[in-house]
Structure 1
Amino acid sequence: MAPRSAARGFTLLELLVVLVIAAAGYALVVRFTSGGVSGAQLRSAARTVAAGLREARGAAIARQESTALVLDLEGRSMEVGGGRPRGLPRRLDMKLYTAQSEIVDDRRGAIRFYPDGSSTGGRVTLASGERKLLVDVDWLTGRVSIKEGG
């Protein structure tokens, strides 16, 4: 009879390393596939807010009276000049930076446009996870722009 060679197989340490790597991979997959909104949904929401701001500016110029876009941060909706509310994705993080005079309460605020096209100015920050888009309104010209967050 020939002597037995060392048993072939995996050591406990090797098995533990593989399990740790698998668990880390699973955690990353779960983190990136759950919660939040997709990049496309985030861009779409930013374009929707920008379009609402441009609509408010156009209405202020056309009607020759100030018009505001009111954002409901808790309800994730917006309305232009008292019109019907338009919904935004619920899982979106929103912040509004605007003039103190345009803060309605702790969950609602507005950016107001004037008949000459100027505005109170402000910024709407839309975020999901690490992704962030900024919808800026220039106070002097009323120009609306979308920028990558930082």
Structure 2
Amino acid sequence: MLIEAVATLVIALLLLSFAYPLVAAGTTQARLAALVGSSAALLRDARTAALVTGHPVAARFDAGRRRLTAGTAAVAIPGDVAFSLSAGGNCRDGGGEAAVLFRPDGSGCGAVLRFARGDRVLRARVNWADGHVDIVAGG
């Protein structure tokens, strides 16, 4: 009887181990928050690089590859996350890429990166005057 109970438990655990990845598939709210945090960190690093080097630094979004890059750093945007980038007039656009430009004085061209999954929306905002990057919920 004990062997049958243990065997039943083992089979149930095996079935759960196969089912768990299916339940956790996709971008969860925690993963969405981490994605926005990583994207904001990439933007902050680009601003810092512009300040340190004395040269403009661009963070670019490649719509075809769904990647946000600045220098050698990159953040991949999952396919199940709706993403949009609204940038100021001084940002460089072209060839399917939108760019957020940071100048050597720390200022930026101003941008809003919007990430959405289901009814959860998070935005990373870049202030045009001082290049400050913050994260806000909604919108």
Give the alignment's TM-score, normalised by structure 1: 0.70
Q: Which residue of 1 aligns with 2:86?
A: 97
Could you give the per-residue CA deviations for residues 72-120 of structure 1, whole angstroms, max 9, x where no partner exists?
Answer: 2332211113x25432323211100013442123x32110000000000
Identify the residue that residue 41 of structure 1 maps to in structure 2: 31
SS at match of 1:116: coil
1:35-114 alignment runs, 5 A limit = 37-81=27-71, 83=72, 85-100=74-89, 101-105=91-95, 107-114=96-103
The match for 1:20 is: none
Q: Which has the larger radius of gyration?
A: 1
**1:73–1:95 CA contact under 8 A, matched in 2:** no
Q: 1:142 corresponds to which letter in structure 2?
A: G
Separation in structure 2 between the aligned mates of residue 73 and residue 43 of structure 1, nearest angstrom: 20
Give the paired residue count.
116
Greater fraction strand: 2
Cα displacement (A) at 1:47: 0.4
Identity of aligned residues (%): 30
- Deviation sequence 1:1-23 (CA, Å, 0-9, x none): xxxxxxxxxxxxxxxxxxxxxxx
Compute the TM-score of the two structures, normalised by the length of structure 2: 0.76
> What are the ranges of 5 or more consecutive residues in structure 1 without an aligned counterpart?
1-32
Matched residues in 2 for 1:90 and 1:111: separation?
A: 22
3-state SS in 2 of match to 1:58 = helix
C-alpha distance after superposition, 1:122-145 (max 9, x if no partner): 010001111110100000010000
The Cα offsets for residues 3-46 of structure 1, whole Å up to 9 and x where unpaired, read as xxxxxxxxxxxxxxxxxxxxxxxxxxxxxx69852100110110
The alignment yields a C-alpha RMSD, in angstroms, of: 1.9
